[in-house]
Amino acid sequence: MKMDISIGLLGLGTVGSGVVKLIRQHQEELVHQLGCKVKVKRVLVRDIEKERDVQMDPASVTVNPDDILNDPEIDVVVEVMGGVDKTRQYIIKALENKKNVVTANKDLIALYGPEIQEIAWKNHCDLLYEASVGGGIPILRGLTDGFVSDRIQKVMGIVNGTTNYILTKMMENGVSYEEALKDAQELGFAEADPTADVAGLDAARKMAILARLAFYTNVKLEDVEVEGITNLLPEDLHYGKTLGYTMKLIGMAQCQNEQIEVSVQPAFVAKSHPLASVKNEFNAVYVNGEAIGEAMFYGPGAGSMPTATAVVSDVVAAIKNMQLGVNGCSLKGPRFEGKLKPLDQRFGQYYIRLHLKDQVGAFSKITAAFSALNISFKRILQTPDKRDELAEIIIVTHQVSLDRFQKALLQLNEMPVVKEVNSYYRVEGEA
């Protein structure tokens, strides 16, 4: 058994600095768990002269990736530099040089995870990426290890802290989207260009990864239906709150009879639902298993130390596998080829807000159209409208298949008594 394990670190930004700090500060615990020391031998940076939060021996810092990728003494390569194309090349080269790889790169894993995993297996190496989803929340290891004897049916959660912070401020403080976003940027929860977060793309990448691990099938990023939060209207948030809901950007993955559906969309969540209490920048993932029933993972979804904790946990797992000689021995390939669920097999409740012409029989025409499609109403709210000739109606349906709901929307848009269908959202939980 090696007396020292050497780490090569690609990137020394926020997360990379956290990894170095944890390895230094927790050396006694690491030796106790592993029976050997762990050290960061070499770090790849873009600019050697840049000042950083952590002090490094100048001799250990390099701008040449080959100093890490080709070093026979480095056992584990940790990638926290971000990016996709160049990073993919580095990781593949590390695996081909028989080095175990730990990464926090959700973009890379969402796009190329299955391909890189095949290379890892071929070279008897581990590819570990716990930090790619949920920051410090151990959700990926929970799915692959904790639920290994169960059959997971559904994974649903809040997996983007930026949007959750924005929606919390909009729902609880009544601020505008623009004001909440500005606040999130000033606090460092949102990037200068927040598109990936607010458009739902970040959450979609994470849901693709979660669905692959939960259902043992290859889920492509393009399989995920995505809608962000940029088009939310204050009126809907107000009515949702009145009806006992809060708005969240929900990622959801379901599998039934080897058919899957994966989506990211704003949804009204009943205040009694566990996800409704997840506020600000926190993340939570709700797992439904055939045997265990319901379980929820909750915690900080980002940040230097929470994410670094997940990275170092993967490093420890890779080293333990080295000591046992079982690197790259995880389950090979998908269990089945996932097919997307047809629309008539996808069920949910829905909130709809529309304006009707205020005339006799208008609402009865709406109810007749829904009834013909076997869609029943769970809740109805009618509010005064400033325009006297219109009536504003809010409807929450019972469970309905997506194809019937979409047919209902088409019919509403074609009915003369309907002025406009303003908005519609999925509903989760019982308000």
Distance, in Å, from the CA atom of 297 to the CA atom of 6, rounded to the nearest integer, reads: 32
Greatest CA separation found in the chain? 85
AA letter at 66: D
Burial of residue 179 (CB within 10 Å: 0-12, 13-18, 19+) is middle
The token pair at 349 is: 């409740």
The token pair that represents 198 in the structure block: 């607010």
**β-strand 259-270 against 245-256: which pairing, if any?**
antiparallel
Residue 31 to residue 29: CA distance in whole angstroms:
5
| Tokens (6 digits) for 339 | 């097919």
Helix intervals (H) in 12-97: 14-25, 27-34, 66-69, 85-96
Structure tokens at 340: 């997307």
Q: Select from 146, 155, 191, 377 the least CA-distant residue to 302.
A: 191
Of 206, 248, 341, 419, the active-site residue reads 206
* β-pair type (282-289, 339-340): unpaired
User: Count of CB atoms within 10 A of residue 160's CB?
Assistant: 30
Distance, CA of 78 to CA of 129 (rounded, Å): 10
Does the annotation mark 206 as catalytic? yes
Measured CA to CA, the distance from residue 374 to residue 244 in angstroms comes to 25
Residue whose entry in the numeric block shows the structure tokens 């948030």: 237
Which residues is 225 bridged to in the sheet? 263
- Would you name the residues annotated as active-site residues? 206
